[in-house]
């Protein structure tokens, strides 16, 4: 394929990796050259997802077998701690789009605190960009290392960052209640969670200590130009995919809920993948499943100065592989929706 972006995917057999393959295998500007994993070397990727059977895709290979001269871009959908090792060996012509937490936190001490891992590429952290595409469109193409936000932080920041940056809501006592399908925990969910009746019940986890708190606090503090600490509780619910985040806020000054809604609507009017629901309308994940869209609703509370914002995304797409491809599109000066609609 002439002038194609030659791609490698590391972590190809996980939920996010498979979603990446589905998107990129139909992308008109991409050629998938390597699909890498640590197990099942030599197997066809259709072994893991039969919908890929008709695609002409490479067999699973080891990361060390990549010929970097052939690769323009590698997506890493690996456990935390792997991408900053890979970043050290990349040639200058190869971009890295990472879906782990390895380049999300700008302070390596915070990374060690929240993830228990010493960062192996501290000198590269400041050379990377943390990119929710909607906020970084003019800057993404300046970076070779692009860090994709976590799924929960994506759902939270798309409505919150504009409001906090514009000083329209109070930065204290922000409460975030998020619910996610169990695919967000990866294929080893049973090892990570020992909840009784895991697939039939709602379970809170990481209460007051979830790793995504560090990322949310970092980005909201940056937007506010002062320290912000939110209250955030995630829940696993008995469905495969999707995130619904409910955010409780207090309005500043003389603004009213409808003004907050109108501001957000104006802010996101040119963001293709952000859709505002009508004012004061309840929403769910049903309309964003299997899409790269984020749906946002602004609702009144019975207390006049308070509002409730609801944000819905598909954790595997807008919260994962879809946003990664959206970042790729912008990094290569393509229309951001190519391959995603």
Do 222 and 108 reside in the same domain of the chain? Answer: no
280 — phi, psi (to 5°)? 65, 30
Position 336 in a domain: no
Three-state secondary structure call for residue 88 = helix
Segment 288-314 mean pLDDT: 97
Do 279 and 159 reside in the same domain of the chain? Answer: yes
Position 338 in a domain: no
Structure confidence by residue, pLDDT tens digits, 249-287: 999 999 999 999 999 999 999 999 999 999 999 999 999
Position 341 in a domain: no
Which segments within the chain are labelled E, that is strand? 5-10, 30-36, 60-61, 73-76, 95-98, 128-130, 145-147, 175-181, 203-204, 231-237, 243-250, 274-276, 294-300, 306-313
Structure confidence by residue, pLDDT tens digits, 313-334: 999 999 999 999 999 999 999 9
Strand order in the sheet with 95-98: 60-61, 30-36, 5-10, 73-76, 95-98, 145-147, 128-130
| Residues recognised as catalytic | 151
Query: What is the model's pLDDT at position 184?
Result: 76
Confidence of residue 186 (pLDDT cuts 50, 70, 90): low
Structure confidence by residue, pLDDT tens digits, 207-252: 999 999 999 999 999 999 999 999 999 999 999 999 999 999 999 9
Which segments within 124-228 are labelled E, that is strand? 128-130, 145-147, 175-181, 203-204
Position 173 in a domain: yes
DSSP state of 312: E
> Per-residue pLDDT for 1 more than 60?
no
Do 103 and 208 reside in the same domain of the chain? Answer: no
Please report, for residues 102, 147, 153, the alpha-carbon distance to residue 320 in angstroms, rounded to integers and kept in the order given.
Answer: 14, 11, 11
Query: What is the model's pLDDT at position 180?
Result: 95
Do 140 and 158 reside in the same domain of the chain? Answer: no
Structure confidence by residue, pLDDT tens digits, 189-204: 766 677 777 788 899 9
Segment 138-148 mean pLDDT: 97
Position 340 in a domain: no
Position 251 in a domain: yes
Position 76 in a domain: yes
Do 139 and 164 reside in the same domain of the chain? Answer: no
Please report, for residues 42, 43, 73, 114, 192, the alpha-carbon distance to residue 39 in angstroms, rounded to integers and kept in the order given.
Answer: 9, 9, 22, 28, 20
Do 11 and 37 reside in the same domain of the chain? Answer: yes
CATH number at residue 230: 3.30.360.10
> Per-residue pLDDT for 82 more than 80?
yes
Q: What is this structure's pTM?
A: 0.95
Segment 10-29 mean pLDDT: 97
Q: What is the mean pLDDT of the chain?
A: 95
Segment 38-65 mean pLDDT: 95
Do 104 and 232 reside in the same domain of the chain? Answer: no
142 — phi, psi (to 5°)? -90, -5
Query: What is the model's pLDDT at position 188?
Result: 67
Task: Indicate the pairing of strand 231-237 with strand 145-147.
Answer: unpaired
Beta bridge partners of 297: 310
Number of domains in the chain: 2
Do 164 and 281 reside in the same domain of the chain? Answer: yes
Do 108 and 17 reside in the same domain of the chain? Answer: yes
Residue 31's domain comprises 5-148+320-331
Do 125 and 199 reside in the same domain of the chain? Answer: no
CATH number at residue 136: 3.40.50.720
Query: What is the model's pLDDT at position 190?
Result: 66
Do 116 and 159 reside in the same domain of the chain? Answer: no
Position 33 in a domain: yes
Segment 39-54 mean pLDDT: 94
Do 255 and 298 reside in the same domain of the chain? Answer: yes
């Amino acid at each position: 394929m002439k002038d194609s972006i030659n791609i490698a995917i590391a972590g190809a057999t996980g939920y996010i990796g498979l979603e990446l393959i589905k998107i990129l295998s139909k992308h008109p500007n991409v050629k998938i050259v390597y699909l890498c994993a640590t197990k099942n070397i030599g197997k066809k990727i259709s072994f893991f997802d039969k919908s890929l059977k008709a695609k002409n895709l490479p067999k699973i290979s080891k990361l060390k077998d990549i010929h970097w001269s052939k690769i323009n871009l590698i997506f890493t959908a690996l456990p935390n701690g792997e991408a900053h090792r890979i970043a050290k060996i990349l040639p200058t012509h190869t971009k890295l789009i990472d879906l782990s937490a390895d380049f999300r936190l700008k302070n390596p001490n915070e990374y060690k605190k929240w993830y228990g891992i010493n960062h192996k590429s501290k000198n590269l952290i400041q050379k990377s960009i943390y990119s929710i595409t909607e906020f970084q469109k003019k800057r993404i193409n300046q970076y070779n290392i692009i860090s994709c936000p976590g799924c929960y932080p994506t759902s939270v920041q798309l409505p919150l960052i504009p409001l906090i940056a514009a000083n329209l809501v109070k930065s204290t006592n922000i409460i975030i209640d998020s619910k996610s399908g169990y695919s967000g925990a990866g294929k080893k969910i049973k090892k990570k969670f020992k909840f009784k009746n895991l697939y039939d019940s709602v379970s809170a986890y990481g209460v007051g200590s979830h790793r995504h708190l560090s990322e949310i606090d970092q980005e909201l503090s940056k937007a506010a130009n002062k320290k912000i600490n939110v209250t955030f509780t995630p829940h696993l619910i008995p469905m495969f995919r999707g995130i619904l985040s409910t955010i409780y806020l207090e309005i500043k000054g003389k603004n009213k809920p409808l003004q907050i809604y109108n501001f957000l609507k104006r802010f996101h009017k040119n963001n293709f993948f952000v859709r505002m629901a009508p004012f004061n309308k309840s929403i769910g994940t049903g309309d964003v499943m299997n899409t790269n869209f984020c749906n946002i609703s602004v609702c009144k509370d019975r207390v006049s100065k308070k509002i409730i914002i609801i944000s819905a995304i598909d954790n595997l797409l807008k919260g994962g592989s879809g946003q990664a491809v959206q970042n790729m599109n912008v990094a290569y000066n393509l229309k951001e929706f190519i391959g995603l609609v």
